[in-house]
Amino acid sequence: MATAVVNQLESTDEKLETVLASFDTNYAWNYGSIKEGLRDLYEKSKREQWNGTTQLAWDTHVEPESEIIPTGINPLANYAPFQKLTEKERARFRHAQLALQLSQFLHGEQGAMIVASQLVGGVPWIDAKYYASSQTMDEARHVEVFSRYVHEKLEWEWPITPSLKELLDATIQDSRWDFKYLGMQILIEGLAMAAFGNLFQIAQEPLLKDLLKYVMRDESRHVAFGVLSLRDYYTDMPENELADREDFIIYASELMRDRLVGADLARAMGWNEEEVRQEVLNSEIGQMFRRMLFQRIVPNLKKLGLLTPRVREAYTRLGIIQFEDFDSDAADRELGFL
């Protein structure tokens, strides 16, 4: 019995990673509303709480190698080694694609849960503490439902990709509360909303579609939380401090763009990583998907006054500046989240 307990603890330790984080924690003794809109957003978050255990149809049968996403959504469709696969191997590849994507959603949601919990202590307004507390609960629920789908329905969890891990670490470890908003609410959550929306529109499996719809309703509020909280914060900020934010935005955006190049799938399939990378980068589907991921990030940075000449130049180089006037509210209304 003692040996079994030791083995269990060793197994737990192998899957536990500790990162050093240090940030200022603020009491907010003013209990009145300071930031316009945050109290309303908190009230909305209370109305929209949901239970992933009872409100999702977990008894739905899911065949993990079925066409959960359309076969045509594949940036490697013209890649010679892929074309040599049998139908059974292609079904396995499709399974791997989806499991990889949902595993990254799962890991990203845990990062969001950690950052939201940090914001509870770090933000300087009581309304923001209220909302960050509710977001921590939201993110816990997202981790729960993605974990359940990945393990019970797909039966295949992938490790976190190095670039996503690097961005989460940078956001969690930075001591400045506004960097946590920038890294999570504006950049990572903005990317997630676009990725969730894309998958929601193409998915052909009802449980997954329902799961994504519930999660996206929460995420649309989380992005709004960042925009409301940071509104006017960067106005008249000293140039050297603003340059730090520009550096972070450009670094994070390049990391997010470069993480979707198929390296994990290439290793799993025994294919040449550089060949796969070039195929994904040059494919029309791959280019369209990477650009689409930034359609919510660019206009929100513009609202915050962070689409500075330097960031604008970087986003022009990345081919995403065209999204600066994208109407995310209209997109959310169309999907039923506003």
pLDDT digits 0-9 by tens, 62-100: 999 999 998 888 999 999 999 999 999 999 999 999 999
pLDDT tens track for 144-174 = 999 999 999 999 999 999 999 999 999 999 9
Percent of the chain with pLDDT over 70: 94
Q: How confident is the model at residue 1 (pLDDT cuts 50, 70, 90)?
A: very low
Decide: pTM greater than 0.95. Answer: no
Tell me the domain boundaries of the chain.
39-44+77-83+160-335
Name 149's Cβ contacts closer than 8 Å, sequence gap at least 6.
Answer: 102, 207, 208, 211
pLDDT tens track for 231-259 = 999 999 999 999 999 999 999 999 887 76
Closest CA to 174 of 91, 248, 263, 83: 248
In the structure encoding, which two tokens stand for residue 257, read together?
């763009």
Query: pLDDT at residue 2 above 70?
Result: no
